[in-house]
Structure 1
Amino acid sequence: MNQPNIQPKITPIYQTSVFKFEDLDAVQRYFDEPGSRYLYSRNGNPNSDELAEAVSHWEGGAGAVATGSGMAAIFAALLTYCQAGDHVLCAADIYGGSAALLNLELSRLGISVSYVPFEDLYDLAAYVRPTTKLLLCETMSNPLLRVVDLRAAAAECHRHGIKLVVDNTFATPVLTRPLALGADMVLHSVTKYLAGHSDVTAGAVVAGTAEDAARLRQIGTVFGLTLSPMESWLSVRGLKTLRLRVAAHSHNAQQIAEFLEVHPAVEAVYYPGLPTHPQHALAVVQGHGLFSGMMSIRLADDAAVVNRFMQRSQRFPFAPSLAGVDSSCSHPLYTSHRALTDAQRAELGITVGLVRLSVGIEPVEELLADLAQALD
């Protein structure tokens, strides 16, 4: 029977672990002509490649890999540049999982780390060693939403001959494209805004050069970091509404931040869209007028107060992740930054009263009403 000429508008899900070959000559062509066909889904799959290409296009990169999680993305990025005996600089304001990877696991591989306070990111002379390979930072820090001047950070890194690796999860390429500002590599927890619906666990790393992209692909294949076809397909579907969703997240978050800034139960609001934010002017330029849907607020340093807020809120359930279309709240001290030392948390101001809000795209009037009753 003749096969119909099928031309789907949407890429099908290639839910297969292995691909067939006609004979030995076909296998040889696979190795002689990279990219000519597929062999095994750990090495590459049409769905994971589609996602990698889409994220690379968003970020203006030379190539990318899709990984099984955001943590796998961080791991792949670091191993692209580092080996045993090397030294890594990391912004002190960083996701707790990144710190745990550096402190607990990469140290066992002989890669050491030093943490750089936010105010020193543009003057690294006191921190750089002969073995330093890179600086890892976030466009907007987790959880205090400090905004890094990526152009200045890149210039300082390159002055010392080291690479700049940027976690762009909070900002997304809708707001900021770090490679265009001088970064060497950018990564995402695709789980968050890129996929956007809290139903995927995935990551992506984008390289600024073809050489780094090839090294990324090698690491992804050898370490088995490749994302599954189904998760890749869902992530690509989410990416198609990224621009619309980020605009809606930002619109809602701006109104909520302004409301919370004057609420008597809230001691502080950390949101770059507020004129009172220390890096507001930078955020306006670097974020093209949008400020993401992420913010943190400081309530009284009393677990009972925080518990009452979480128990009363109906639209911001306590869920230790972020950036879905549905709003949620999280608690850095108890969840995302639990792996930090007491001294690190104290230095950053991560106390029991700090609550992180992930503002969704629901009608903002409903979110404001819920926060008002939860805080009263």
Structure 2
Amino acid sequence: MDQPTIHPKITPIYQTSVFKFEDLDAVQQYFDEPGSSYMYSRNGNPNSDELAGAVNRWEGGAGAVATGSGMAAIFAAMLTYCQAGDHVLCAADIYGGSAALLNLELSRLGISVSYVPFESLYDLAGYAQPNSKLLLCETMSNPLLRVVDLHAAAKECHRHGLKLVVDNTFSTPVLTRPLAYGADLVLHSVTKYLAGHSDVTAGAVVARTAEDAARLRQIGVVFGLTLSPMESWLAVRGMKTMRLRVAAHSENALVVAEFLAEHPAVQAVYYPGLPDHPQHALAVTQGAGRFGGMLSFRLPDDAAVVNRFMQRSERFPFAPSLAGVDSSCSHPLSTSHRALTDAQRAELGITVGLVRLSVGIEPIEDLLADLAQALD
């Protein structure tokens, strides 16, 4: 009996490590016509390709690669432009994992790094060296939510012959598309807002040019950074609601930020949606009028005070990640930015009292009530 023709609305999960060929001619066609078929899932899989294509469309790129984590995405982005003997610039306001990769591993491979203070990102003359290749920054910095003027940063990078690599995880392409402002590569921890449900570990890098996209794919295959079929499928499913989720995250986070700004136990709030945020006007235009679901606030620099808040809160459990539909809190000093030196943390203001909130999409009255009782 002939097999029926199947036309699934949703891409099936191709949970296979290898694909079959009819004969030697079919294998030769695979190599002669890239993309005509699949051979081995490290080289490509329909699910990981679907995810890469979805992120690429959102960011408006020339091609993308899906990776096994956000850290793998950062690694792939660095190797797209760098080799031993090169130098990279990195914004001082950066995710601690990115700093750890640069300090501990890329330095071991002969790639050196210099950190650029936020106020100097648009004047790199004092930091760029003859062997400098790129600047790595975040659209909205982790954990203090400083907003980078991407157009100005890209213009300054290109003036010095540097590539601009932007981590767009906090913002998402729903709010900001860095390639449109002149960035050369955009990367995501897909684990966060793109997948959105705290059940996937994945990353992605998107290139502005076809040449860089081809280099990314080569790095992904040779280093084995490719994402598994199941994780890819889950991430694609999550991205189908990303636009709606990011809107809900943003709406809730603004209300939470306004509440915290008025609370007597809170010393400071860092959220681009607040009018007194230093980059508020930039965030309005660059972020399509929304500001994302991440914020940080400052309690007294007393571990006991922070612990009491964490112990009392029921809606914001201490879970050192972010961007799930359920709210959570994190402590940058002891988790995400642990790898930074004491001097780096002190310069950035990452102290015991700094708490980061990932505001979910729960009913806002429930979140406010929980914060009120936890802070009181």
**Same fold by TM-score, threshold 0.5 exceeded?**
yes
Distance in 2 of aligned mates of 1:286 and 1:203:
23
Asked if 1:121 corresponds to 2:124, the answer is: no
1:196: which partner in 2? 196
Distance in 1 of aligned mates of 2:323 and 2:289:
19
Asked if 1:34 corresponds to 2:34, the answer is: yes
Letter matched to residue 284 of structure 2: V
Distance in 1 of aligned mates of 2:119 and 2:105:
27
Distance in 2 of aligned mates of 1:122 and 1:3:
61
Q: CA RMSD in A?
A: 0.3
2:357: which partner in 1? 357
Q: List aligned pairs for 1:141-290, cutoff 5 A.
A: 141-290=141-290
Distance in 2 of aligned mates of 1:112 and 1:139:
23
1:84: which partner in 2? 84
Distance in 2 of aligned mates of 1:293 and 1:219:
32
1:137: which partner in 2? 137
Corresponding pairs, count: 376
2:49: which partner in 1? 49
Alpha-carbon offset, residue 356 of structure 1: 0.2
Once the two structures are superposed, what CA deviation does each residue of 1:224-244 show, in whole Å capped at 9, x if it has no partner?
000000000000000000000
Letter matched to residue 177 of structure 1: R
Distance in 2 of aligned mates of 1:31 and 1:139:
38
Question: What TM-score, normalized to structure 1?
Answer: 1.00
Distance in 2 of aligned mates of 1:61 and 1:183:
10
1:2: which partner in 2? 2
Distance in 1 of aligned mates of 2:119 and 2:82:
25
Distance in 2 of aligned mates of 1:203 and 1:73:
5
Partner of 1:145, secondary structure, is coil
1:72: which partner in 2? 72
Distance in 1 of aligned mates of 2:260 and 2:320:
21
Stretches of structure 1 that go unaligned for 5 or more consecutive residues are none
Alpha-carbon offset, residue 3 of structure 1: 1.0
Alpha-carbon offset, residue 345 of structure 1: 0.1
Distance in 2 of aligned mates of 1:254 and 1:25:
59
1:304: which partner in 2? 304
Alpha-carbon offset, residue 151 of structure 1: 0.2
Q: Percent identity?
A: 88
Distance in 1 of aligned mates of 2:175 and 2:30:
39
1:327: which partner in 2? 327
Letter matched to residue 82 of structure 1: C
1:340: which partner in 2? 340
Stretches of structure 2 that go unaligned for 5 or more consecutive residues are none
Once the two structures are superposed, what CA deviation does each residue of 1:70-109 show, in whole Å capped at 9, x if it has no partner?
0000000000000000000000000000000000000010
Distance in 2 of aligned mates of 1:2 and 1:151:
58
Distance in 2 of aligned mates of 1:332 and 1:305:
16
Distance in 2 of aligned mates of 1:288 and 1:225:
33
Distance in 1 of aligned mates of 2:336 and 2:365:
29
Partner of 1:109, secondary structure, is coil
Letter matched to residue 77 of structure 1: A
Distance in 2 of aligned mates of 1:373 and 1:276:
26
Distance in 1 of aligned mates of 2:25 and 2:193:
43
Distance in 2 of aligned mates of 1:245 and 1:12:
24
Asked if 1:316 corresponds to 2:327, the answer is: no
Once the two structures are superposed, what CA deviation does each residue of 1:15-36 show, in whole Å capped at 9, x if it has no partner?
0000000111110000000000
Letter matched to residue 162 of structure 2: I
Alpha-carbon offset, residue 277 of structure 1: 0.3
Once the two structures are superposed, what CA deviation does each residue of 1:40-95 show, in whole Å capped at 9, x if it has no partner?
00000000000000000000000000000000000000000000000000000000
Distance in 2 of aligned mates of 1:43 and 1:279:
42
Name segments (4+ residues, structure 1) moved above 2 Å: none
Letter matched to residue 36 of structure 1: S
Once the two structures are superposed, what CA deviation does each residue of 1:104-162 show, in whole Å capped at 9, x if it has no partner?
00001000000000000000000000100000000000000000000000000000011
Distance in 1 of aligned mates of 2:32 and 2:177:
35
Letter matched to residue 175 of structure 1: L
Distance in 2 of aligned mates of 1:30 and 1:250:
45
Alpha-carbon offset, residue 312 of structure 1: 0.1
Once the two structures are superposed, what CA deviation does each residue of 1:288-322 show, in whole Å capped at 9, x if it has no partner?
11000000000010000000000000000000000
Letter matched to residue 343 of structure 1: A
2:105: which partner in 1? 105
Distance in 2 of aligned mates of 1:97 and 1:72:
11
